[in-house]
């Protein structure tokens, strides 16, 4: 299947507030593109959502205290068929129990291609392609908000693009938080802003889930492969701001080799000239 024929799911994520003992109704939209060559039969299911490691690798299998929400989700009309250029809203409800724990709850609404047709009339799922709409939910009640920025760094010298910046934030609370990371790059000699350009802000926001540490990596590569830049990274998280700024030199290996060869050749020429001059003095 060509990527242009792939179905889409929106929104990719949604943040919702829940109240214990009450019901919440939400929707996602499944679309079969106009470029599709055939109808698309889909199935929507609810899955746990967790992350692994500081790189935040998605984990749709491991259950936790923060994935109880999966048991509360009901999907109305979870299967259907879309013709090319057709979209459909899929409604879901979250029935929050009276004793639901306060704090973050996380799930994924998984949309996959499905084949139908067992003899007993049930639906046989054949997930060839699958996309997820992530639910970041917060149940009202007593919440704990604790966390910190643990690192903010980038190198001072690189031999090739991109310039990679890294920030690490930690969440010790029971609700998800948002970290804002802004990167700015100026030309060292002219002080002209190179990144971001035009109407861009250079800022991204990332969700930091409870009891996790997240590493946020930014890459800036729309620069000259040989240059000197003034780089700044501003990390904002839970009321704290951590700014790191310093000069970054981008110097490719081929240029360093060229400089080394040139310096070596000049040094050899100077040495030869000095020796020749000394020989002339001896002959005189």
Q: Please report, to the nearest 10 degrees, the dihedral formed by the alpha carbons of residues 108, 109, 112, 118 taken in order.
A: 120
Residue 201 sits in a domain whose CATH number is: 2.60.40.10
Q: Which of 109-118, 142-151, 191-200, 260-269 shows the lowest mean pLDDT across its residues?
A: 109-118
Please state the φ and ψ torsions of residue 33, each to the nearest 5 degrees: -65, 160
Looking at the structure, do residues 134 and 8 belong to the same domain, yes or no? yes
Q: What is the pLDDT of residues 52-109, one digit of tens each?
A: 999 999 999 999 999 999 999 999 999 999 999 999 999 999 999 999 999 999 999 9
Q: What is the pLDDT of residues 156-201, one digit of tens each?
A: 999 999 999 999 999 999 999 999 999 999 999 999 999 998 777 8
Whether pTM exceeds 0.75? yes
Give the Cβ contact number of residue 209 at 10 Å.
19
Predicted confidence (pLDDT) at residue 15 exceeds the cutoff of 90:
yes
The parent domain of residue 169 ranges over 147-251
Looking at the structure, do residues 128 and 185 belong to the same domain, yes or no? no
Q: What is the pLDDT of residues 263-275, one digit of tens each?
A: 887 887 788 777 7
Report the distance separating Cα 158 and Cα 64, nearest Å.
Answer: 41
Q: What confidence category does residue 126 fall into, taking pLDDT thresholds of 50, 70 and 90?
A: very low
Report the distance separating Cα 27 and Cα 250, nearest Å.
Answer: 47
Give the model's pLDDT for residue 117: 38
Looking at the structure, do residues 180 and 75 belong to the same domain, yes or no? no
Percent of the chain with pLDDT over 90: 78
DSSP SS3 for 228: strand
Structural domain count of the chain = 3
């Amino acid at each position: 299947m060509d990527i242009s024929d792939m179905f889409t799911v929106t929104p990719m994520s949604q943040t919702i507030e829940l109240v214990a003992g009450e019901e919440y109704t939400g929707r996602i939209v499944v679309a079969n593109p106009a470029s599709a060559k055939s109808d698309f039969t889909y199935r929507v299911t609810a899955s746990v959502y967790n992350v692994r490691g500081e790189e935040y690798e998605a984990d749709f299998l491991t259950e936790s205290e923060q994935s109880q929400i999966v048991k509360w989700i009901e999907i109305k009309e979870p299967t259907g068929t879309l013709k090319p250029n057709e979209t459909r809203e899929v409604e879901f409800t979250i029935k929050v129990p009276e004793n639901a724990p306060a704090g973050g709850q996380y799930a994924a609404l998984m949309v996959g291609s499905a084949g139908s047709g067992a003899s007993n009339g049930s639906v046989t799922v054949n997930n060839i392609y699958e996309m997820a709409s992530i639910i970041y939910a917060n149940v009202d009640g007593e919440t704990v908000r604790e966390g910190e920025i643990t690192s903010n760094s980038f190198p001072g010298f690189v031999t090739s693009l991109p310039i990679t910046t890294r920030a690490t934030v930690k969440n010790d609370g029971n609700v998800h938080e948002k970290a804002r990371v802004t990167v700015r790059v100026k030309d060292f000699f002219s002080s002209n802003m190179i990144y971001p350009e035009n109407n861009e802000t250079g800022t991204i926001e990332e969700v930091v889930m409870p009891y996790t540490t997240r590493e946020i990596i930014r890459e800036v590569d729309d620069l000259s492969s040989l240059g000197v830049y003034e780089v700044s990274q501003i990390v904002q998280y839970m009321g704290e701001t951590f700014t790191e700024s310093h000069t970054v030199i981008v110097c490719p290996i081929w240029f360093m080799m060229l400089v080394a060869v040139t310096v070596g050749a000049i040094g050899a020429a100077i040495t030869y000239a000095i020796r020749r001059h000394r020989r002339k003095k001896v002959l005189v």
